[in-house]
Chains A and B, each alone.
Chain A
């Protein structure tokens, strides 16, 4: 309705224009009005009038009312009128002039779809892509719409060049690991920082609270020129998240729903009951013990040929359901306003029984003009998230005695009397456990979070071009975790210790950010200047209170009344973590004739978590850009018809990383309330905690970026290529120090790392017909990284947490961070003669080695890397990178009439990963079930096999267990049909039905659940370890969205 009002006004204006009498007698004139699709008059539209190609061109532009007039034209001629305005599609209209009269036109410009005109967020401001001097990837959420996702980062895989996004695990609402242009830090974080509507959220903790449907766009700042404005925290890139605002002149109600189901996408192939029974018997006999199942058929009669499929027993098809409702709109005068109000209810059940994620969320984005000079705005997001987590062991190497991957298929879930089976006959000589089904059914492990994110700003424009803005952002998170293990857990029943145990863990986060900026834009002829100055003050504190109670004699009160536990069975803890950052920032943008651009940026940051006197750092950067296509020689060149825009840019600058825990520079004592026993009672004791470091300061990354931006065929196709080279120094490094100091490691500023690579992205309309369009996009990135200095240490072992002394990762000069280490597997020993021959050689001449007890038939052997005749950690050497050498994504959108098909593939190549599960399940250990391929193990009956025999577990990271982690994944696909105008025409403005899916297809050689997991979680260096992760799922949903 508002739109119609606008159009009426415009038409009226046009009539007025037409009514003005004219006095041109001989010559003709053309006048008109230019409006946008909403009917608003457009000012500053360049109008060129030309009779034919050889004729002189007349120029004019529209005034504030969108009006223009061209006089002194030939009579009775057909003129070509060209209309151009930034952000709109160029438009051409033919007009026939009449003698002595004024021809009038009404021009409606369509918004420009070319990428170069899109507005890009650059931190404390915006830029047109064509004016951008730095490297920024923008992801429009349009194509992510309707996909079943709880967090926006889950959908970013492969979408942006140079940005490697990997899910850490498949639990609902679980975060991702993001590496912008590789890893550079060792002990500090490698994750980018997030800025959500201007609020810096360093660790992205709020992404679970934000409804992906509320997000308008995501901009990822990659080079130093753009990131330097975020200074000390920006070395790993910056992800800017912008939520939707109301649009002036519209009042829309939007409703959408998405309903579907998730299922386990891929699983490891384990032995079935018969295969396992035969295996365990062979292993027992090998160990000089009686066979566990002297009569295999009798156990098969009980559990069946396949036996218990523990993975199947705890996984399910899990429903996904989401509802969004939003209202948005606004008016656009000096007292106008816009609003965007939305609510979302989302429920995603996990594919493991009794796990889920539920979110109730609301958002208000409001802007208001108080006068032509003053405006204010509010962004407010409120959410409540409920999570149920799995307490079951997900297949970690150390969890072998009870995990759902390792348990024997010969163990039934339930005993004959219907209670849970507890006996694990292969836990050494047999022990009692809680089986995974009992754990998922009986243990409560839930998390609740209430999260408020708010941002309020006031902007004042005292003189045109000068904007003073002050903003205040808040973020309050109340988080509570509750855990209860009931008294009738099967192992407790078995041991006759039937008590419940409970704990609650409460965290409160409150953070505050105040930013004040002054921005001045001025043009002097062809010189355009843009200044920014600002300050930022951010403080965040997290407090914690934890309480636990054991020996609960009832199962009713659980964690709701911990006070009823006896004094000695109570546990308590509390903590406080405070951090402050103070910053000053500035930026100058200058360009001449939109041809030569210069940007200088600087930020001075002070952070509380560094040593006194080492808290301040300055991060400057500079960039230049040459927009070649705006040179006169290019303007008239023939190539212009093909290459409509071309620019070259270079930037260089510094950014920092302060992503380490607080209080690291201070020496501390740590207390232990159970330090020792005196007089038969616990005694409190203190020991030395953190070893102080009064030199601790930032790590600094310098980055060179050179990029080329092409636009072909007036924006139909875009191509961007970037080369970058980053050198990080003074790395915050947890250095392994000799244990004789009483410490294993300490954090210092030491070392250097290097990252370099190329980012490419191409996007374009391959076919653009009336009824059919095909839009395609591809992005490809390469990354090479290495540690160039780790100080005096030749190499440092990084514990990937696999356990049992399995070390798969080291830090070494010349090798990428987090790389995979190990030894080459060389098959099995086939004969005693072979073994004797090898062992009789002098140790320096041996080529094949085993651990001492595995010099036997069928024992695994390895290449002796250091030629000393023995196998140990000294032989471990760099085998393969953990980060892909090449990664990216490609997708297409096909539109035929009302139907749209969109799909997107993501790929990564050139990296490897250890499957930690195989250290037991691929080495013939008699303690666990085995991978199905172990059926072909070496045995007396199978003497040529190169798969190790029973009981070959040696905890050696051999490359047999190191797998190619390359993937090609159909990350998302969506088929939608537009019903606009077909149903309820009067009420419904827009309506779509769709079917969509994520993670639909995966091509990989990896033999675990999915190579796209990371047990390292938030570890900055370990990026590829599969050691018990919640498995990834495939989700298919259908839904509808409609706008009223």
Chain B
């Protein structure tokens, strides 16, 4: 003790103010959560952070692979993309990339926003809107997780690391219940639309449309109809006249009247500045001619993309289109600007079409927005919900709205079975490559059948697929880290 006293005396000349104070760690380069959420701007910025994970999920190749490859609409020959396509994924190589961790990162951020913004001393209306946005996003992230893995751990409070680390998987019905709760609350809090500088934020329509979809997944036809009708009755949305305009190759169709919620990307083509980009277009372009700047023999002008041409349409998709379907030349690629492709992926197979092209892209970077919810989805959801509920007339009415835009004849009344087939086919064509097919097939219980139906284009996948492939395996690493997680059956 005496020695310490002596030491302290010795040190006294230097340590003015005491030893302890000299060691206080003062954060000058970052902000602690406790010092934030004090005004509207800060709360808005915290919500912005929750949106950021959308780019990381929808912009990742793994996401396109695990929802679009390995269905009956597209196939690949690219060795790097075979795992989901050929149904060879295992708990060691799930093929799902970062979807699990990015979605939970977003949920963690959303939980903090909900907890802290609810208590923030800011204007009531803004607070409601921000909490609504966070709840919508949280619901969307849980929706994505549950579609891939079924039962997933659910937590909604601000992070307690030790508790959340041990959470077991919540049954799918409860996950959906949480999603429905968040979306219902969000629909109450969110505005119908935003001013120009806030375009891209979640709206009441987005919450209702997603709500309708979750009800549909639950087989809750009545609630699905109600939510869908609310979207229609909001008067905010309409179909664009041309299907091609929904997917403009120069990105002029962003946030159009048909769009309910889309993931925002941005690239300034004029200055070739990549602000927030993805590479989806490089996955869907025709193969580039070796050593040349043409693609399957067609000159796209100054367009330069180092593409991989990973995804190709199956013959089944090609044959689904009725004659005169306005969408065929948009979904499928036979040529560009008057030129016809001179090479094809396989005999009788076209390439994927302009729906997926971004002629303002450069190298692999594309600033094309990716749709999460389009108005046409609401119409098809209504058609499905009424058909399943036995209301053929109402169902046909909604389906014909969609067919009308595709310049197809209106369908007459038919049996529930036949109409169901028509709706399923319509969804396949309308949403090809829009991250819907796998989830639709799974909820209809038709994934195995569908993959086996394209055995010509995907023989390995057709041979490998089993019922348990409806859900992806949980990464073995995650189970090691949290032994309370159980594996999906079959893996």
Residues of A within 8 A of B (CB): 287-288, 292, 423, 425, 427-432, 495-497, 514, 516, 518, 533-535, 537, 539, 550-551, 566, 568-569, 574-578, 580, 582, 584, 586, 604, 606-609, 612, 615, 662-663, 665-672, 674-691, 736-744, 746, 793-795, 797, 805, 851-853, 870-875, 951
Contact = CB atoms under 8 A, between A and B. Distances in A.
Interface centre among B24, B266, B477 (most CB of A within 10 A): B477
A470 to B, nearest CB: 9
Nearest to A606: B23
Nearest to A427: B306
A423 B288 CA distance: 13
B49 interface: yes
A672 B20 CA distance: 34
Interface string B448-491: 00000000000000000000000000001110111001000000
A875 B92 CA distance: 9
A674 to B, nearest CB: 6
Interface string B84-98: 001010111100000
B32 A669 contact: yes
Interface stretch (B194-202, B208-216, B388-396): B194-202
Contacts of A794: 480
Contacts of B478: 738-740
Contact of A685 (B33, B51, B288): B51
Interface in B4-31: 4, 6-8, 10-11, 13-15, 19-20, 22-31
B415 interface: no
Given A514-B14, A606-B23, A685 B306 contact: no
Interface centre among B3, B27, B54, B106 (most CB of A within 10 A): B27
Contacts of B374: none
B81 to A, nearest CB: 11
B480 A666 contact: no
Interface stretch (B237-245, B271-279, B330-338): B271-279
A273 B269 CA distance: 39
A495 B361 CA distance: 12
B31 A688 contact: no
Nearest to A736: B481
A737 B92 contact: no
B82 interface: yes
B27 A678 contact: no
A491 to B, nearest CB: 9
A682 B109 contact: no
A684 B477 contact: no
A679 B272 CA distance: 19
A266 to B, nearest CB: 32
Given A676-B52, A737-B161, A586 B3 contact: yes
B177 interface: no
Nearest to A401: B306
A4 to B, nearest CB: 45
B23 A675 contact: no
B291 A873 contact: no
A853 B82 contact: yes
A688 B19 CA distance: 32
Given A582-B23, A686-B45, A853-B79, A676 B55 contact: yes
23 contacts: A423-B291, A425-B291, A429-B288, A533-B3, A534-B10, A535-B10, A539-B22, A608-B23, A608-B25, A609-B25, A612-B25, A663-B30, A669-B36, A674-B275, A677-B200, A677-B266, A685-B50, A688-B108, A690-B30, A737-B165, A742-B108, A872-B92, A951-B79
Given A676-B55, A678-B199, A691-B161, A874 B91 contact: yes
A859 to B, nearest CB: 12
Interface centre among A672, A690, A852 (most CB of B within 10 A): A852
A582 B200 contact: no
B225 interface: no
A685 B273 contact: no
B313 interface: no
Contacts of B302: 496
A805 B80 CA distance: 12
Nearest to A566: B271
Nearest to B201: A678
A429 B77 CA distance: 13
A687 B109 contact: yes
B362 interface: yes
Contacts, number: 277
A584 B11 contact: yes
Contacts of B82: 853
Contacts of B268: 568
Contacts of B476: 872-874
Contacts of A797: 477
Given A666-B32, A686-B49, A874-B92, A584 B480 contact: no
A213 to B, nearest CB: 35
B112 interface: yes
A688 B33 contact: yes
Contacts of B107: 742
B366 interface: no
Contacts of A682: 266, 275-276
B290 interface: yes
Contacts of B54: 676
A740 B167 contact: yes
A669 B30 contact: yes
Given A665-B25, A685-B48, A606 B275 contact: no
Nearest to B11: A535
Contact of A681 (B19, B25, B105, B197): B197
A497 B268 CA distance: 13
Contact of A853 (B23, B26, B88, B272): B88
B264 A677 contact: yes
Contacts of B6: 533
A687 B30 CA distance: 12
Given A608-B24, A795-B480, A676 B51 contact: yes
B304 interface: yes
B254 to A, nearest CB: 7
Contacts of B33: 667-669, 688
Contacts of B161: 691, 737, 741, 743, 746
B217 interface: no
A683 B50 CA distance: 12
A872 B159 contact: no
A-B CB proximity, top 10 nearest: A872-B92, A742-B108, A685-B48, A852-B88, A685-B49, A677-B264, A687-B49, A739-B101, A535-B11, A584-B7
Interface string B360-385: 00110000000000000000000000
A685 B77 CA distance: 39
Contact of B197 (A533, A674, A679, A740): A679
B132 to A, nearest CB: 16
A711 to B, nearest CB: 36
Interface in B190-242: 195-201
A580 B22 contact: yes
A508 B3 CA distance: 38
Contacts of B10: 516, 518, 533-535
Interface in B46-82: 46-52, 54-55, 77, 79, 82
A582 B15 contact: yes
Interface centre among A680, A736, A741 (most CB of B within 10 A): A741
B164 interface: yes
Contacts of B199: 678-680
Nearest to B30: A668
A916 B288 CA distance: 30
Given A514-B14, A740-B478, A741-B159, A685 B272 contact: no
B46 A738 contact: no
B200 A688 contact: no
Contacts of A576: 28-29
Contact of B46 (A685, A740, A872): A685
B200 A676 contact: yes
Contact of A676 (B25, B31, B48, B290): B48
B111 to A, nearest CB: 8
Nearest to A792: B483
